[in-house]
Structure 1
Amino acid sequence: MTVSAPDTACPVPSAPPPGALHRVGRWCARNARWAIVTWLLVLVTAFAADKVWGGVYEDEFSLPGTTAQQGADLLEEHGSDLKGFGAQIVLEADDGLGAHRTSVEAALDELDRLPDVLTVADPFTTPGAVSADGTIGYATVRFAENPATFDPSYVDQVDEAVADLRDDHVSVDYGGPLGQLARPEAAHGLSETIGLVTAVVVLLIGFGSIAAAGLPLVTAVVGLAGGLAVLGLVAAAVTFGAAAPTLATMMGLGVGLDYALFLTTRHRGLLASGVPPEEAAGRTLATSGRAVLVAAATVAMALAGLYASGVSFIGTLGAAAGITVLVAALASLTLTPALLGLVGHRIDRWNVRPPVAEPGGGDDTWRRWAATVGRRPWLFLVAGLLILGVLSVPVASMRLGHIDAGASPMDYTERRAYDLIAHGFGAGTNGPLTVVVSLDAGRADRDEVANDVRGALSRTADVVSVSDPAPTRDGDLLTSTVVPRQGPEDESTTDLVHRLDDQVLPEALAGTGADAYVTGTTAVQTAFRDAMVNRLPWVVAVVVGAAFLLLLCAFRSLLVAVKAALLNLLSIGAAYGVVVAVFQWGWGGALFGVTERVPVESYVPMMMFAIVFGLSMDYEVFLLARIREEWLETRDNHAGVAGGLAATGRVISCAAIVMTSVFLAFLLSTNVVIKMLALGLGVSVVIDATVVRLLLVPATMYLFGRANWWLPRPLDRVLPHLDPEAPPTALEPGRRREPDAAEESGASA
């Protein structure tokens, strides 16, 4: 009888089942047509719903607790003639407006009959509304709603009302919000088209394959279209600012291209190593797809942090951009693997040059660069910090304010109206202040209060003129118009608003029982600026804290999370510096269509911080994800840094060029605020893809060594695991942990 020997071989551990992302990628590739048809149905449904129920975008915000808001509320409550939204109809006649008085009054009667018009002030009966030489005058029209939000066809009605006046050789221009409505219609889609064309060229040069270049573009466009449709539906319930769709387009298109590009590149690398297309799609989502999720979550969290400003206008702008970012990520994680599965091995069949896929061992050029940094990490660390430090120098002189119509192109009617008023009446007439005095239910003597207020305002520096305080119809308020010496965006005007609020009016009304408030467009803009300055530290704390916790959970490393947050703060400072130098200092501003020096729009630093911090994390996450994979496989820090940089060098460079092109294309916008954001975001991407990624990240990771991946065990037990299938990485200080069997076989997070 033959007795078989007992089997003493160690059992081979079974591989863990595929994770959720792996299964999603494999299913989408295997059922490509179903996934694509589903996306088409979703798009058609979303567009139809947006067409029927979609909302509009308008700049509406309130500043509760500020004197400017309190004054505006009092005017509305007591039925003042100054309630509503004012806009100027600016007139000029070389032979004097008096010679055309009949035509002017007839035109004003026509304007008074237009819908939403509350009152029209006759310049001939309004004190100070006709210039000293009689050639320039303005009629203030007050609207029930903000005319900037009206349909553009409303301008045609205004043009028709003043047509006879123009025929009588009187020039007519529109100022204020009516001038904003009359801006020439921008060439819709021009910036997006330029960004997409640039993306095609960059991707074809970088990878050679037409299909590999086209798939990210298709995914990005579909994701952007879906995101904008969803945004339109949400706008029916939430008030978004007028800049929301532009900002959402910039963000959605930029990150959509990046996310799909990273996934496509990883997929092609797996195909080149012999993995079947469906399995390659699954593995791509299990690795690079996880990085996309972390990156998108970081961007969305940074944008959501704008709600910490306490101003809904700012929070909703962040939410608008966040919607398109999340939809772009969803499209990348479902539509991209479907398209990759549909194309299969034919992805490199059509090409303009020999196709280049992500090498299995990484690009030797990038590996050599990593080795160079590794030999002198201190040198490259200091060099990178010096570059960011120099670029950040202008931040010390940053001046926040509001950009008025004086920065608009010369051929805009709002700019002509602004210049005519400044020429005929002084720059301050473009930004008058309204002083509202509440008489406290009649306890104060009206005439005495009126004399005290007028005298105090007249004696105040930087005040050109003060109108007699006039009572409202119910007699409970007094209103007076104050004309500053300088324009609304001048720093002296901002100081004047503060001085009136804090010193002049309280002293003038001391002991009378009356209260005074400075309101009007210029005062509201000043209050808004103050709110942005006061709340910026809160936004910074919320955004940095949330991103730090997310990275800590994703990479299980204390130093990696701290380093990422600090380096991104430095890169944001450098981007701020460039914006200040170009727009406030005027260094090259004319190249971007800005002919005058302007302050930095008050909410731009806050918006830039949230967006730039989120985008900075994108490249940080993609690079660190590959470094971590190499580290888990080799337990060699130097090899991990070199391998991660080599594996992502080409794709991050191409992605950075593409995203920079998308952002800089929006410099074509005629809106100076959009130009600021476009330049700041474009510069930040360049800084992150070069100085941060090529110098600071590898240098710091070489210097920290194995400490890069240290996480205190108590903290490791408390933090949630974003990827439960990934092997633990926490290391005790001074203790080496040997890789287990799964890690030795090359398992990655």
Structure 2
Amino acid sequence: MTASAPDTVCPAPPGTPPPPGALHRFGRWCARRARRVIVAWLLVLVAAFAADRAWGGAYEDEFSLPGTTAQEGADLLREHGSDLEGVGAQIVLRADGPLAAHRAAIDDAMGELANLPDVLTVAGPLGTPGALSTDGTIGYATVRFAENPATFDRSYVDAVDTAVAELRADDVTVEYGGTLGQLARPEAAHGLSEVIGLATAVIVLLIGFGSTAAAGLPLVTAVVGLLGGLSVLGLIAAAFTFGSAAPTLATMMGLGVGLDYALFLTTRHRGLLASGVPPEEAAGRTLATSGRAVLVAAATVAMALAGLYASGVAFIGTLGLAAAITVLVAALASLTLTPALLGLLGRRIDRWSVRRPVAESEGADDTWRRWAATVGRRPWLFLTAGLLILGVLSVPLASMRIGHIDAGASPAGYTERQAYDLISDGFGPGTNGPLTVVVAPAGSGKDTDRVAADVRESLQRTPGVASVTRPAYTPDRALLTATVVPHHGPQDESTTQLVHRLEDEVLPKTLDGTGSRAYVTGTTAVHVAFRDVLVERLPWIVAVVVGAAFLLLLCVFRSLLVAVKAALLNLLSISAAYGVVVAVFQWGWGGRLFGVTESVPVESYVPMMMFAIVFGLSMDYEVFLLARIRETWLETGDNHESVAGGLAATARVISCAAIVMTSVFLAFLLSTNVVIKMLALGLGVSVVIDATVVRLLLVPATMYLFGRANWWLPRWLDRLLPRLDPEGTTVRSGQESRA
């Protein structure tokens, strides 16, 4: 009996391709079981939508700023039962003659308002010192609510209208200010921006693909992913507080990246079909190549948005989380539903053509390759031109003024804007943003009276102060409170300076040696504190997001120069987008074209949000372009050919994707919310800059200049870094030069 030979593993013949990976196999599985995947998505979508309708939460702008004097003052007022607790809003009245002539109607209206649900107190214009203009024709009632009225159901406005109906019948103009005015805003045309964005996307995709079926596939995937993401966000909002801008921001991001991701996958799939690959195998290869790039891109965007938590302000972090949720769900839909639909369509993807269909493989060596060759012949010229364009666009950034946009920037027909203007006319613009000074006296009796007198005298002498009320005790006589009216409106830079002057100089100097402490609080002071916190922490956000993206690109592309260059170029791109926002909204260059009738500061959280979003989206295109360049580099080892081939293979689809995403963002300029307009313009401009100046000029120019050094990585660092290969390629020895 002879012993059998041990089992041996025969090496694969040279040139044998590696076995399909997990993504490749998953893509084929989705294509082969297309109906199961589609039905599963429909069931999940219906269940998520129903759950959101049944248990979804609401969105409201609430935030706390621990450690700030504004927050400490507000906490003290709440703790000691001040009549300033709750959320205040103004109801502004105007008559052709003295309001006192309408006393009976005013008293009845104040009584009706006091009986409304969630109303804590009502202070009418005739019985409250300072609430009536000098000529007696304009006055305001201050209504304090247990909760923020902006979060109430719109039917609450009907109840308020009923309460003041007798006043209007008595020829008294009634307007709602503050958070009550926000609730009373006309209902926006829901979905109009989304419809315009999708309609533009249809036109662009039809032109780009030439086929109705191919153009419709990214739209279906993006809409399914968006609806699923918003439903998930609504469910999470039941447990966490999200700002009122969260669903709009999430829609912008989810729809934009959903269209882009499905577009890249569909384009790659059609290129494989054109080269003779069977549909199911093409779906597998698409997921193994471009699908990996989608994974890296989505992870980069989500990581950048998650970096907003480095601000330490939950309000900002949750806005980033809201956008990240729809981005991740959009990526999930692209990676599952797209291959399923591709498998279902098979070779019928070019049905219902509106012109001769164009596949990825076509045109790769004509216009864009000639452009790449042109850049390669004069890289220094194109590098200089690109940097000059970004530099000019960035000039306004140096004068950026960060602040809070008040109701004075709302559309002229809104009741909150009417109330704002009436208050400004009758009492001065500063009355729209009064400050509350809270004093915690150390003594009692005459000592406290002396402190109150000194505080009032110091406040009256302070430049920028229009008026000061006499300090009054809280019900438990533990605190003194006084109202300070600035000369200028809440969003004016002088008002911000006044808050800082009171906090840092006037009040500390007045109370020095008394043991008493003072705090400046109120809505305007809270917004100033919010601005200060975000400005202070913006560098941390930049460091966290740029650092994380640098490490991710380092792991993916195994190149120091590629990662450093990507980070620096994206920073320049963001600076240019900031500059455009400042020029339009702060300088007023063309602001009226977007429905902004006056110059406004840049909203305090816009720079932080823009940075995270723009950096993430810029990395999207960076990943797709560099992945194709690296793929060619690994095949040829020729840097010049790699740059030209990668640019030629992706320029058309990146340009198409950029037009689609830009149209989605710019469609939100129709919003009546100035902050949403600001984000929409900034994001839309950033995509245009990134897809043109950065991708078509700066990236190829720098990569031509760096040559083989593009792919250099120290050996010790290569051993430390994990391998993340976005296109599923295998690193071949000798093709990457390392120290």
User: What's the counterpart of residue 314 of structure 2?
Assistant: 312
Q: 1:361 to 1:705 in 2, by over 3 A?
A: farther
TM-score relative to the length of structure 1: 0.96
User: What's the counterpart of residue 557 of structure 1?
Assistant: 559
After the TM superposition, which residues 68-147 of structure 1 pair with which residues of structure 2 at under 5 Å, given as runs? 68-147=70-149
How many Å separate the matches in 2 of 1:435 and 1:699?
A: 58
Cα contact 1:219–1:257 (8 A) shared by 2: yes
Q: Is 1:727 aligned to 2:734, yes or no? A: no
Stretch moving more, 38-47 or 10-19: 10-19
After the TM superposition, which residues 170-249 of structure 1 pair with which residues of structure 2 at under 5 Å, given as runs? 170-249=172-251
User: What's the counterpart of residue 359 of structure 1?
Assistant: 361
**Corresponding letter in the other structure for 1:658:** V
Cα contact 2:712–2:738 (8 A) shared by 1: no
User: What's the counterpart of residue 5 of structure 1?
Assistant: none
Deviations 1:77-106 (A, max 9, x none): 000001111100000000220110110010
Which portions of structure 1, spanning 4 or more consecutive aligned residues, are displaced by more than 4 angstroms?
441-444, 729-736
Cα contact 2:713–2:737 (8 A) shared by 1: no
**Corresponding letter in the other structure for 1:702:** Y
User: What's the counterpart of residue 744 of structure 1?
Assistant: none
After the TM superposition, which residues 634-645 of structure 1 pair with which residues of structure 2 at under 5 Å, given as runs? 634-645=636-647
How many Å separate the matches in 2 of 1:466 and 1:667?
A: 40
**Corresponding letter in the other structure for 2:384:** V
Local SS of the residue matching 2:193: helix
How many Å separate the matches in 2 of 1:233 and 1:364?
A: 49
**Corresponding letter in the other structure for 1:286:** A
Query: Which one of 602, 605, 621 corresponds to residue 603 of structure 1?
Result: 605
User: What's the counterpart of residue 5 of structure 2?
Assistant: none
Q: 1:513 to 1:731 in 2, by over 3 A?
A: farther
Cα contact 1:712–1:731 (8 A) shared by 2: no
Local SS of the residue matching 1:516: strand
Q: 1:586 to 1:548 in 2, by over 3 A?
A: same
How many Å separate the matches in 1 of 2:12 and 2:306?
A: 52
Query: Which one of 324, 327, 350 corresponds to residue 325 of structure 1?
Result: 327
The structural deviation recorded for 1:442 is 4.2
How many Å separate the matches in 1 of 2:110 and 2:386?
A: 62
Deviations 1:147-182 (A, max 9, x none): 111111111110010011100100100000000010
Local SS of the residue matching 2:110: helix
Q: 1:447 to 1:392 in 2, by over 3 A?
A: same
Local SS of the residue matching 2:436: strand
Local SS of the residue matching 1:88: strand
User: What's the counterpart of residue 6 of structure 1?
Assistant: none
The structural deviation recorded for 1:728 is 3.2
Q: How large is the RMSD of aligned CA atoms in angstroms?
A: 1.6
Deviations 1:268-322 (A, max 9, x none): 0000000000000000011101111111000000000000001000000000000
Query: Which one of 631, 634, 644 corresponds to residue 632 of structure 1?
Result: 634
How many Å separate the matches in 1 of 2:269 and 2:363?
A: 15
Cα contact 2:205–2:656 (8 A) shared by 1: yes
Stretch moving more, 19-28 or 273-282: 19-28
Deviations 1:217-236 (A, max 9, x none): 00000000000000001101
The structural deviation recorded for 1:556 is 1.0
Query: Which one of 378, 381, 384 corresponds to residue 382 of structure 1?
Result: 384
Local SS of the residue matching 2:126: coil
Q: Is 1:15 aligned to 2:17, yes or no? A: yes
Q: Is 1:41 aligned to 2:43, yes or no? A: yes
User: What's the counterpart of residue 3 of structure 2?
Assistant: none
Q: Is 1:334 aligned to 2:333, yes or no? A: no
User: What's the counterpart of residue 454 of structure 1?
Assistant: 456
The structural deviation recorded for 1:732 is 10
Query: Which one of 463, 469, 472 corresponds to residue 471 of structure 2?
Result: 469
Q: Is 1:580 aligned to 2:579, yes or no? A: no
Query: Which one of 485, 493, 497 corresponds to residue 495 of structure 1?
Result: 497
Local SS of the residue matching 1:434: strand
The structural deviation recorded for 1:443 is 8.8
User: What's the counterpart of residue 437 of structure 2?
Assistant: 435
User: What's the counterpart of residue 153 of structure 2?
Assistant: 151
User: What's the counterpart of residue 8 of structure 2?
Assistant: none
How many Å separate the matches in 1 of 2:68 and 2:262?
A: 46
The structural deviation recorded for 1:440 is 3.5
How many Å separate the matches in 2 of 1:733 and 1:249?
A: 41
**Corresponding letter in the other structure for 1:74:** L
**Corresponding letter in the other structure for 1:716:** D
Local SS of the residue matching 1:445: helix
User: What's the counterpart of residue 4 of structure 2?
Assistant: none
Instruction: State the identity as a percent.
Output: 81
Deviations 1:650-678 (A, max 9, x none): 11111000000000000000000000000
Deviations 1:515-568 (A, max 9, x none): 000000000000000001000000000000010111111111111111000000
Stretch moving more, 720-729 or 561-570: 720-729
Cα contact 1:709–1:731 (8 A) shared by 2: no
The structural deviation recorded for 1:359 is 1.1
Q: 1:10 to 1:332 in 2, by over 3 A?
A: closer
Q: 1:81 to 1:332 in 2, by over 3 A?
A: same
How many Å separate the matches in 1 of 2:153 and 2:192?
A: 22
Cα contact 1:84–1:145 (8 A) shared by 2: yes
Cα contact 2:712–2:737 (8 A) shared by 1: no
The structural deviation recorded for 1:720 is 0.8
Deviations 1:396-430 (A, max 9, x none): 00000100000000000000000000000000000
User: What's the counterpart of residue 665 of structure 2?
Assistant: 663
